[in-house]
Amino acid sequence: MSNRIGVHALVWVGGTDPAAVREAVARSAAAGYDLLELSLHDAVNLDTAAARAELEAAGLGVACSRGLAFDADISSADPAVVERGAQLLADSLVTTRELGGTHLTGALYSALGKYGAPLTSAGRANVVRVLREVAAEAAGHGMTLGLEICNRYETNVINTAHDALVLADDIGADNVTIHLDTYHMNIEEDDLVRPVYEVGARLGYVHIGENHRGYLGSGHLDFGAFFHALADIGYGGPITFESFSSAVVSPGLSSDLAVWRNLWSDGAHLAEHARAFIAGQLAASAPR
């Protein structure tokens, strides 16, 4: 298999302080994963040098993700709010690079939460301008940005693959890729297949999550069709398992993501099951 199979650190721990990172790295490696995704919502507590050493010692790759905040949002029409969002992105790019990562992804274009009105033309222009600048900085370090497509309750900027492709075209940078997430696709897309073909070679990152964010295969998503579509386009990038339970996720992020119930309490069993599930889907969809 050419795809690295990843796991989101929030399967294990709620933050990124040294003890939490140490635990997430150890448990990810023990479960057989190739990559650990670290959310930068808790970056103030992240010791990048120590985390990088832990990751390298375990032989794990790393990707970083984040959403912005309503007071630091590049989709705002308020210049001060936009500037704070741009600084968050600049800092996140540095953090990702210091961790040894080359991929920063997520809702890089807006706050993560429900907006009360549609995106304004001024706000969208700010998104394009700032992400063009961040992409140029990232390219200088051989890094890639991912536009994660999130549902209408978490952003008003891009909700479908088509939205993301139009935004990426407007940014106009080769190192800006599309990030598909099956949880969000289930809400916003007609199915899990056509968006994969529409994005095609511009797909740079994938999140695998069940329709309720619990155990893979316990919901109603057609993962077989999705993985066959990935194989058809020759996708060779990371495939990262993402699942949230209020038993683990930090209270602030739980509220942002509307994680109101414990879908699981045993992260180890969940992650081992997910690793085997994804590997099985990749094997079943591999060209014969």
| Catalytically active residues, by annotation | 148, 242
DSSP for 74-134, written as a single string: TTSS-HHHHHHHHHHHHHHHHHHHHTT--EEESSTTSBSS--SSPPPHHHHHHHHHHHHHH
Torsion 35-40-42-46 (CA) sign:
positive
> CA angle, corner 177, sides to 173 and 178, nearest 5?
140
Give the type of residue at 273. H
Helices (H), the chain: 18-30, 48-58, 79-98, 121-139, 161-171, 182-188, 194-199, 223-232, 251-257, 267-285
Query: Alpha-carbon distance 222 to 276, whole Å?
Result: 17
Closest residue by Cα to residue 45 from 17, 19, 65? 17
Contact 36, 12 (CB under 8 A): no
- How far separated are the first and last CA of the chain, in Å rounded? 13
